[in-house]
Amino acid sequence: MKYHHQKGIVERDKKGHKKLWLGFFMVFAIVSYGGFLFAVLNLNGWPLTDVASTARVVKTTKPTSNKIFIPAINVQTNTDSIKLEGDPSYSDVVVSGPSLGFGITPQSLRQASLFYSIDQLRNGDEVFLDNQGTRYVYEVSQKVSKDDSKLTIKTSNKTVVAKTVGTIVWNDGSPVLETF
One-letter identity of residue 35? G
* Nearest of 54, 161, 55 to residue 110 by alpha carbon: 54
pLDDT at 149 (0 to 100): 38
Please give the backbone phi and psi of residue 27, each rounded to the nearest 5 degrees, phi first. Answer: -65, -45
Sign (positive or negative) of CA dihedral 160, 161, 165, 171? positive
pTM of this structure: 0.58
DSSP annotation of 148? -
What phi and psi values does residue 130 have, to the nearest 5 degrees? -90, 125
The per-residue pLDDT string of the chain (180 residues; one tens digit each, 9 = 90 and over) reads 677 778 777 776 566 677 888 889 999 999 998 888 777 666 655 555 666 778 888 888 888 888 888 888 888 888 777 777 777 776 677 777 666 666 666 666 666 667 777 777 888 888 888 888 888 888 887 765 544 434 566 555 556 666 667 667 676 767 777 665
**Quick one: pLDDT at residue 143?**
67
DSSP conformational letter for 151:
E
Q: What is the pLDDT of residue 102?
A: 63
Task: List, in order of start, the domains of the chain with CATH numbers.
Answer: 2-42 (no CATH), 53-179 (2.40.260.10)
pLDDT of the residue at 16: 63
Please tell me the number of Cα atoms within 13 Å of 80 on its side-chain side: 3
Residue 28 pLDDT: 95
pLDDT of residue 29: 93
* pLDDT at residue 26, as a whole number: 94
- CA 165 vs. chain centroid, Å, equals 24
pLDDT at 109: 62
What is d(CA 54, CA 128) in angstroms, rounded to the nearest whole number? 10
